[in-house]
């Protein structure tokens, strides 16, 4: 594995060159989509996973061999081992792969290899990249272009976070958290917005912004950079790139946006707006999910689809039927008159947006959030902002931080976060044990209330437990 995750891979290596690939931690959000892509491409795939992620049965159904423990013998017959940034250096399979001299690749390197020879539409940004990736993928697929894709979430349309397509377009969500988004050579690069995050990697937001600008500069010479015109930092990147003669398109409510959004309205039925492209009215667009931010996400998708050669009417029809993404305003069920949603938001800006939207559709009941913080460094560095955002809910049940590979020091976890939430003491509680959460929610929830599980990947498993407990 290259120690340099900060520059594009232009070595011509393809996915087929990697032989039999073993993914360490195959069920997690980082690797499950990539494993699905390789398996649907007809390549030999295996993976090891200790946790019962919902993705495992589907990956196995594609012909992949899934090992439920990490063992050196899992490497027999393997040519390439793929890891994520979260893979511990002392993982027994990684250690054995090194001893055997096998090819070891970071997730981003294996994904870059899969894009070789294809036009890559690469979506980045602090917020909205998963949904934007799903929108672009669904628009292209419904238009018959059969794209390949790898997403950080699972589109509701087929439940798969990755799939091989026979078309020449490849849509992928890029991860800025470890700078690995700099490994790609996009045909179209997208930055949805830039917000304070990943300070453990970048130190400050100016350095983070510089990373996004480098990502944009890695776009192919005949490609296009798509940026949000309503975000101060992405606007600045656009000015720099245009000064260098790069092809830049923007979207948003700003009057100078290439794709200008106006008359944006969000209701419980979804989002609608009018769009003007390069000064020409191209009509009304709609997305069947609430949240003004989804309107902006869809505008980025419209620009990408226009760049791919699609007509506005085809794009409009696909967006109106958009299936959504799991863990994004996902209604998981209703029990005893209590609606239970699941939402991936973990950054304060995303938490604020999600809870505000849910508050708008809760009706007369209360909004109760069950929050599992994601990453120790984020919970520590942004504690005040996360706490303030959680206070949009009427009640908060807060779990311990999920931070694989991180050390949890005293005063940095869920209990300290709970104390910082500006809600009355009776309306917030820290629950350390997963098994105690359902009873706590049952004790608080009443018919008409809306409960949302929110935060780190594991909490997506909680709604089933809540619905069972509420239904007793």
Tens of pLDDT along 220-265?
A: 999 999 999 999 999 999 999 999 999 999 999 999 999 999 999 9
The encoded tokens of residue 71 equal: 């063992």
Instruction: Please give the positions annotated as active site.
Output: 129-130, 173
The whole-number pLDDT of residue 159 equals: 59
**What's the predicted TM-score (pTM) here?**
0.82
The encoded tokens of residue 162 equal: 């990755």
Task: Indicate if the pLDDT at residue 11 is higher than 80.
Answer: no
- Integer-rounded Cα radius of gyration of the chain: 22
Q: Please state, as a whole number, how many other Cβ atoms lie within 10 Å of the Cβ of residue 144.
A: 9
In whole numbers, what is the pLDDT of the chain averaged over residues?
Answer: 92
Q: Tell whether residue 293 is among the known ligand binding residues.
A: no
The whole-number pLDDT of residue 328 equals: 74
What is the average pLDDT across 426-441?
Answer: 95
Q: Tell whether residue 126 is among the known ligand binding residues.
A: yes
Q: Tell whether residue 125 is among the known ligand binding residues.
A: yes
The encoded tokens of residue 111 equal: 């994904």
Task: Indicate if the pLDDT at residue 5 is higher than 80.
Answer: no
| DSSP class of 365 | S
Task: Indicate if the pLDDT at residue 33 is higher than 70.
Answer: yes
Q: At residue 133, what are phi and psi to the nearest 5 degrees?
A: -60, -45
The whole-number pLDDT of residue 10 equals: 62
Q: Please state, as a whole number, how many other Cβ atoms lie within 10 Å of the Cβ of residue 372.
A: 23
The whole-number pLDDT of residue 155 equals: 56
CA separation, residue 155 to residues 63, 160, 322 (Å): 21, 6, 10
If phi over 0 gives left and psi between -120 and 50 gives alpha, with beta otherwise, what is residue 249? beta
pLDDT band at 119 (very low <50, low <70, confident <90, very high): very high
Question: pLDDT tens digits for 344-371?
Answer: 889 898 899 889 989 988 888 999 999 9
The encoded tokens of residue 449 equal: 């209330």
Altogether, the residues listed in the chain come to a count of 472
What is the pairing mode between strands 103-106 and 80-83?
A: parallel
Q: How many CA atoms lie within 13 A of 371 on its CB side?
A: 36
The whole-number pLDDT of residue 6 equals: 56
Q: Which domains does the chain have, with CATH numbers?
A: 15-107 (3.40.50.720), 118-320 (3.40.1190.10), 330-471 (3.90.190.20)
Task: Indicate if the pLDDT at residue 1 is higher than 60.
Answer: no
What is the average pLDDT across 335-343?
Answer: 94
Q: Tell whether residue 132 is among the known ligand binding residues.
A: no
Q: Tell whether residue 128 is among the known ligand binding residues.
A: yes
Quickly tell me which residue has 């195959």 as its tokens: 26
């Amino acid at each position: 594995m290259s120690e340099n995750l900060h520059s594009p891979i232009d070595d011509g290596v393809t996915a087929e060159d990697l032989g039999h690939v073993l993914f360490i931690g195959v069920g997690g959000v980082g690797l499950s989509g990539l494993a699905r892509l390789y398996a649907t491409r007809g390549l030999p795939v295996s993976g090891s996973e200790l946790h019962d992620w919902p993705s495992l049965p589907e990956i196995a159904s594609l012909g992949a061999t899934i090992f439920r423990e990490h063992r050196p013998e899992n490497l027999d017959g393997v040519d390439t081992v793929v890891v994520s940034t979260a893979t511990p250096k002392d993982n027994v399979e990684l250690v054995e792969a090194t001893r055997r001299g096998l090819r070891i690749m970071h997730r981003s390197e294996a994904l870059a290899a899969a894009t070789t020879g294809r036009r890559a539409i690469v979506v980045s940004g602090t917020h909205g990249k998963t949904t934007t990736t799903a929108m672009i993928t669904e628009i292209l697929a419904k238009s018959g272009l059969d794209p390949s894709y790898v997403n950080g979430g699972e589109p509701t349309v087929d439940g798969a976070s990755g799939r091989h397509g026979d078309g020449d377009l490849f849509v992928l969500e890029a991860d800025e958290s470890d700078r690995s988004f700099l490994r790609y050579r996009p045909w179209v690069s997208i930055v949805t917005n830039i917000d304070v995050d990943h300070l453990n990697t970048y130190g400050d937001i100016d350095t983070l912004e510089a990373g996004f600008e480098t990502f944009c500069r890695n776009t192919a010479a005949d490609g296009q950079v798509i940026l949000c015109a309503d975000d101060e930092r992405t606007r600045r990147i656009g000015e720099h790139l245009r000064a260098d003669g790069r092809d830049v398109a923007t979207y948003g409510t700003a009057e100078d946006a290439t794709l200008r959004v106006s008359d944006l309205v969000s209701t419980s039925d979804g989002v609608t707006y009018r769009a003007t492209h390069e000064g020409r009215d191209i009509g009304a667009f709609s997305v069947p999910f609430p949240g003004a931010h989804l309107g902006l996400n869809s505008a980025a998708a419209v620009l990408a689809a226009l760049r791919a050669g699609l007509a506005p009417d085809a794009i409009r029809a696909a967006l109106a039927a958009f299936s959504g993404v799991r863990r994004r305003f996902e209604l998981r069920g209703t029990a005893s008159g209590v609606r239970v949603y699941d939402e991936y938001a973990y950054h304060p800006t995303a938490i604020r947006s999600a809870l505000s939207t849910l508050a708008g559709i809760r009706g007369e009941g209360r909004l109760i959030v069950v929050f599992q913080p994601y990453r120790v460094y984020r919970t520590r560095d942004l504690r005040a902002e996360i706490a303030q955002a959680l206070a949009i809910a009427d009640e908060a049940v807060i779990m311990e931080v999920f931070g694989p590979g991180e050390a949890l020091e005293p005063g940095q976890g869920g209990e300290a976060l709970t104390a910082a939430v500006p809600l009355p003491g009776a309306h917030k509680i820290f629950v350390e044990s997963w098994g105690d959460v359902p009873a706590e929610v049952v004790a608080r929830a009443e018919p008409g209330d809306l409960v949302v599980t929110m935060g780190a990947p594991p909490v997506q498993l909680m709604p089933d437990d809540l619905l069972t407990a509420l239904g007793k």
